[in-house]
Amino acid sequence: MTGTITRRDFLKATGAAMTGVAVPAAGLCAAPGEAGQGAGRAGNGSGLLAISLNVNGAERRIEIEAQMTLAEVLRGPLDMTGTKVGCDRGACSACTVWVDRVPVASCMMLAVDVGERKVVTIEGLARGEELHPVQAAFIAHDAMQCGFCTPGLVMSCAALVESKPNPSIEEIKDAISGHLCRCGSYPHVFAAAMDAAKTLKG
Amino acid sequence: MNRFEWTSAGAVAAAARLGPVTVAEAMATQSGAPGTAATVLKAGGIDLLDLMKEGLLTPRRIVNLRGIPELGRILEGADGSLRIGSLVTLAQIAEHPLVARRYRALAQAAGLPASPQIRNVATIGGNLLQRPHCWYFRSLHHHCLRKGGATCFAFSGENRYHAVFAHEGCAMVHPSTTAPALVALGARIELLRRDGSRRMVALESLFLTPEEDIRRENDLKPGEILAAIILPPMKPGVRSWYERQGEQDSFDWPVAEVAVVVKLDSPGICREAAVILGAAAPVPYRAKAAESALIGKPSSAGNARDAARAAVAGADPLSGNGYKLPVFEALVARAILHAANQG
């Protein structure tokens, strides 16, 4: 890797400078090889990073730009649009996925920062045709109306019932406290989560 | 978000050698002095991404600290102190049994900001060093004093969530919910310098008032990395409590919050007290009059009310936030009694 300026870098830099954002002259000549440690670099001069992302048990090798969030990569290059993006600021939790089984807002995590950790999305929750107990309970309890917030809510509820065998209603409310549902399906969601916990317990 | 170079640091010293600047400095130079290449550090990345998505921060390079093992650990010292690495998440702190047992106010405070999804990623270091959430500061269209502009819009504008104390020049409230608890508990911080040396300071001394520097909320020097927060051993009879009030019960910024630490002797007389208010001032605000009012007295409901009145006596509310004073008063009295009466 050398300090070659690509046309894209140049246009990007001059464009930014024209809008009043400081762009260092030195930045145009910086060796891109200094960056990308631990992330891999495509090495094709495109400024793309070659990463491997473990999503729903499969290793996916993709080339992305560093500023792409996990939500953008899931919905874009990986074509998994089950994960929804509402606010894109971590304020609605529609984009909730698991990273190493912990629910996170995928809009507030850079895809390049996921590293070795395993991502599970709504597409990876069912086992073949067999729905996850939380998914089945959402259907049984009519726990959605427009459905936009549903994938995120299901991921949060599923993480809770899998880690806590007997969640209280308070624990369920706490687990989904970050989720906004404009249709107001919350009471049905609480009931579905309680029901799913019982099913999982057997 | 703008394009940037991405680098992962394997060790703190390696990150320091890459020449990072603070986010405050990166924001100041990009608007004031084109030509400076800003390298910034990323912990959990929540505030960093927020600032970048709003177009307020456009770093040239981001150095990821997340993979540095030293920063992600909670370690108990032989002397009973507790060292919390700066990249430990708020969720990990809230769930840590030792934190809950010894430093209850911190466990309570760490379990409440934002949502579970955010607390699973947001770090204690990032929580302390995040930039203010004043809506004028966060708006690209308001060039406020803190961003190098000519005015603080909060004094004549919408200020119901702004400061009621010590707001000379800028009416932001300090954004960290863990800071009042950590300051009340006497936390120190360990900062790693670019040359590899380390310095320890009281957390309370890190924060800067607008009079001291209106462009920065803390005295972190360029290149310095917050490595750890160190909580002192808890002396016998010391108890702590955190209270907050928001407009919503969960997933909301507090309009008022308080952390109280008291040391009671065996007849129940208060010998030491710390009363720190959050969402109150541009820094975590020590209510000295309330502390003095408590010392030497039993922790009765009447004495707690007297101390709470003293806590808000010197307040200077703005046009739209006078409602905060009775809220603070109620929270201070409640926190004192909870702290004193817990088992």
Distance from CA of B116 to the nearest CA of A (A): 6
Q: Which of B44, B66, B88 is the last residue of a domain?
A: B66
The pLDDT mean for chain A works out to 84
The answer to whether residue B116 sits within a structural domain is yes
Q: In the predicted model, what is the mean pLDDT of residues A12-40?
A: 37
Superfamily of domain A49-124: Beta-grasp domain (3.10.20.30)
Q: In CATH, what number is assigned to the domain containing residue B182?
A: 3.30.465.10
Whole-angstrom CA distances from A64 to A56, A78, A124, B88, B336 are 19, 11, 22, 28, 52
Give yes or no for residue B343 having a pLDDT over 50: yes
The answer to whether residue B163 sits within a structural domain is no
Q: In the predicted model, what is the mean pLDDT of residues A163-174?
A: 94
B139 at A interface, C-beta within 8 A? no
For residues B295 and B189, membership in a common domain is answered with no
Distance CA B210, CA B145 (A): 10
For residues B87 and B121, membership in a common domain is answered with yes
Distance from CA of B249 to the nearest CA of A (A): 9
- Residue A102's H or E segment, with its range, is strand A102-105
How many CB atoms are closer than 10 A to CB B35? 11
Distance CA A179, CA A90 (A): 10
Cβ separation A104–B67 shorter than 8 A: no
Q: Which has more confidence, A136 or A2?
A: A136
- The beta-carbon neighbor of B120 closest among A69, A103, A179 is A103
| Domain, as residue range, for B20 | 5-66
Q: Which of B215, B231, B247 is the last residue of a domain?
A: B231
Cβ separation B121–A109 shorter than 8 A: yes
Give yes or no for residue A136 having a pLDDT over 60: yes
Structural contact between residues A182 and A155, judged by C-beta atoms closer than 8 angstroms:
no
Class of the domain covering A133-201: mainly alpha
For residues B11 and B59, membership in a common domain is answered with yes
Model confidence band, residue B267 (pLDDT cutoffs 50, 70, 90): confident
Question: What ranges do the domains of chain A cover?
Answer: 49-124, 133-201
Model confidence band, residue A26 (pLDDT cutoffs 50, 70, 90): very low
The three-state secondary structure class of A107 is helix
B273 Cβ partners below 8 Å, 6+ apart?
B260, B261, B262, B263, B290, B291, B294, B295, B307
- The proportion of chain B whose per-residue pLDDT surpasses 90, expressed as a percent, equals 88
How confident is the model over B125-143, as pLDDT tens digits?
Answer: 999 999 999 999 999 999 9
Distance CA A45, CA A52 (A): 19
Residues forming beta bridges with residue B261, ordered by sequence position: B240, B274
Q: In the structure encoding, which two tokens stand for residue B114, read together?
A: 């934002």
Give yes or no for residue B49 having a pLDDT over 50: yes
Q: Which of B32, B48, B66 is the last residue of a domain?
A: B66
- The beta-carbon neighbor of A112 closest among B6, B61, B114 is B6
Chain B residue nearest residue A108, CA to CA: B46
For residues B277 and B312, membership in a common domain is answered with yes
Give yes or no for residue B251 having a pLDDT over 90: no
Domain count, chain B: 3
What is the predicted ipTM?
A: 0.94
Q: So what's the pLDDT on residue B194? A: 84
How confident is the model over B299-324, as pLDDT tens digits?
Answer: 899 999 999 999 999 999 999 999 99
- Residue in B39, B21, B55, B144 with CA at minimum distance from that of residue A19: B55
Give yes or no for residue B82 having a pLDDT over 70: yes
B100 at A interface, C-beta within 8 A? no
How confident is the model over B174-187, as pLDDT tens digits?
Answer: 999 999 999 999 99
Q: So what's the pLDDT on residue B138? A: 96
B202 at A interface, C-beta within 8 A? no
Model confidence band, residue B37 (pLDDT cutoffs 50, 70, 90): low
